[in-house]
Structure 1
Amino acid sequence: MTKLLEEIKNLEELNNYCLNFENFKNQEDIRSITNHYICQTIQNFIISIKLSFNLKEIDYCKKNISEQLNDDDLKVLQNNFIAYSKEAFFINFSIIVENHFRQIAIHYENDTNKINVTPIKKTFENIFIENKFNNSLSEDEINTYYFFLYLRNTMHNIGIHTKDDIKINFNDSNSIFTFDKISLSLTENNFNNITFFELVFLIEQVCKLVNKTNLKIESNEFIKHRLVDAGFNE
């Protein structure tokens, strides 16, 4: 229980941090919707963890899940639900960020300068290294997103990192968390060993990257988010 409460605390800090990012006037712009979407995803994960507390109660589980359950099943039931929720959170966050960069790429590309391409890593490089925002990110910031992509790709292999060993060192004195110095690594042909707290720290760094990107877009520009036509703000 103590660990879960600490996880909730970290997520709430992350959510509050993202809520304080600059609020763009046009609520249909990708800068507004992406930030709202990220916050919604964090909030949904917080709700999932809080709901998981019910899975420690046998009466609740028998009534709402199955009469066949007994006390010995509860720990596995709760652990599986939380693990599933964590994966859903990470996957959804990854999709939101990738889509954000792709929409920026589509906005700035033209017939003679294709920016949005199939590998998101190459699209990212096209934006920040070769095109519109050339040299606007530090090498550490670029490597942060590279590491995030490598971690995401382990999801395709049940958590196993299939590429060469990779390591990244973070030293963020402005982190909202107390653990501002972290080294993360992925070892070839091994399961990723990233802890929950390390993952939240990494997501904080990616959120900062998204926000920095948003601030590079001219304030008078408008990039309509695809979700608008799906009724996101309705």
Structure 2
Amino acid sequence: MNKEELLRFLKLANSLDTFSNIDDIRSITINAIFKQIENLYFSVILSKNLNDIEFLKKNISEKIEENYINDIIINYEGFIKDAFFMKFFMIVENHINQIAEFYENSNNKIKDFSSIQNTFENLTTPKKCSLFTEISQKEKELFKFYCYLRNTNHKLGFQSKSNKELIIKDESSVINIYETKINLLKDCPNNLNTNSLLLIKEQILKLIIKINSKIPEQDYIEHILVHAGYNNH
């Protein structure tokens, strides 16, 4: 896992945490994303110890042999990638749901309890909500692919639906400025490398920032974590 890419992504997330009301979702969501990238960064640094057989024998088990190390590293990296993806997705999902709840009313339901993908579609449909009409079709496809990727977790990482493709070209990316094609193939594991995973996460972060910019300044959407003391430590 590339530590330099992660550090650039970490700095990007930190630079985007600028909303003045620290209890609003526009602040806490970005800060929570920053913390998850930071956790992944710490994990990558700490994982270097897994190459040290003496460290493994002393801190984990005397029974570990040199030939176990490669499997340990592969399993650990898979674990931290999955944990990072899922927590990041949860933060984004909550963000979209809270916006939907704030702007819907009894005659205009936006939030779909069965599908975050449908909630996002409703939120960006002018007849449902007029604030987010500048979200492009390309950005909608990005979020849809993100949800497809999330759904592979229900099948241990396998794509159970038809083939899906996402093309990203972001010349301002801190991960990869070149055109990248990412595929999910039916009945195959997603097999995303770290670069592709971080590239998608970067685009989702930028999408959230764009959505936030369309929320009127005076509309206070208190993050669900405020009463759990998120900003008290």
SS of match in other structure, 1:164? coil
Unaligned runs of 5+ in 1: none
SS of match in other structure, 1:88? helix
Separation in structure 2 between the aligned mates of residue 19 and residue 134 of structure 1, nearest angstrom: 24
Q: Output the amino acid matched with 1:110.
A: N
Matched residues, number? 229
Native 8 Å contact 2:158 2:189 kept in 1: yes
Unaligned runs of 5+ in 2: none
What is the Cα deviation at residue 10 of structure 1?
A: 0.8
Question: Are residues 1:143 and 2:141 paired?
Answer: yes
1:78 to 62, 73, 79: 73
What is the Cα deviation at residue 176 of structure 1?
A: 2.0
2:21 to 18, 26, 32: 26
Native 8 Å contact 2:170 2:176 kept in 1: no
What is the Cα deviation at residue 153 of structure 1?
A: 0.7
Q: Output the amino acid matched with 2:158.
A: I
What is the Cα deviation at residue 22 of structure 1?
A: 5.2
Separation in structure 2 between the aligned mates of residue 49 and residue 207 of structure 1, nearest angstrom: 21
SS of match in other structure, 2:147? helix
Question: Are residues 1:65 and 2:60 paired?
Answer: yes
What is the Cα deviation at residue 174 of structure 1?
A: 2.0
Deviates more, 1:200-209 or 1:131-140: 131-140
Runs of at least 4 residues off by over 4 Å = none
Separation in structure 2 between the aligned mates of residue 150 and residue 178 of structure 1, nearest angstrom: 22
Question: Are residues 1:101 and 2:99 paired?
Answer: no
For residues 193-208 of structure 1, the aligned pairs below 5 Å read 193-208=191-206
Native 8 Å contact 1:108 1:132 kept in 2: no
Separation in structure 2 between the aligned mates of residue 67 and residue 30 of structure 1, nearest angstrom: 47
Question: Are residues 1:124 and 2:120 paired?
Answer: yes
Deviates more, 1:192-201 or 1:139-148: 192-201
What is the Cα deviation at residue 177 of structure 1?
A: 3.0
Q: Output the amino acid matched with 2:117.
A: K
Q: Output the amino acid matched with 2:41.
A: I
Question: Are residues 1:159 and 2:154 paired?
Answer: no
Q: Output the amino acid matched with 1:32.
A: S
Separation in structure 2 between the aligned mates of residue 19 and residue 70 of structure 1, nearest angstrom: 40
Question: Are residues 1:49 and 2:44 paired?
Answer: yes
Question: Are residues 1:10 and 2:30 paired?
Answer: no
Native 8 Å contact 1:154 1:192 kept in 2: yes
2:215 matched to which residue of 1?
217
What is the Cα deviation at residue 178 of structure 1?
A: 3.8
Separation in structure 2 between the aligned mates of residue 36 and residue 50 of structure 1, nearest angstrom: 21
Separation in structure 2 between the aligned mates of residue 81 and residue 43 of structure 1, nearest angstrom: 17
Native 8 Å contact 1:133 1:216 kept in 2: yes
Q: TM-score normalised to the size of structure 2? A: 0.94
Q: TM-score normalised to the size of structure 1? A: 0.94
Separation in structure 1 between the aligned mates of residue 56 and residue 71 of structure 2, nearest angstrom: 12
Question: Are residues 1:89 and 2:80 paired?
Answer: no
Native 8 Å contact 2:101 2:111 kept in 1: yes
C-alpha change, 1:231 and 1:92, in structure 2 (3 Å) is: same
Native 8 Å contact 1:102 1:123 kept in 2: yes
Separation in structure 1 between the aligned mates of residue 179 and residue 31 of structure 2, nearest angstrom: 28
Separation in structure 1 between the aligned mates of residue 87 and residue 135 of structure 2, nearest angstrom: 24
Deviates more, 1:29-38 or 1:9-18: 9-18
Q: Output the amino acid matched with 1:151.
A: L
Please give the root-mean-square deviation of Cα atoms over the aligned residues, in Å.
1.3
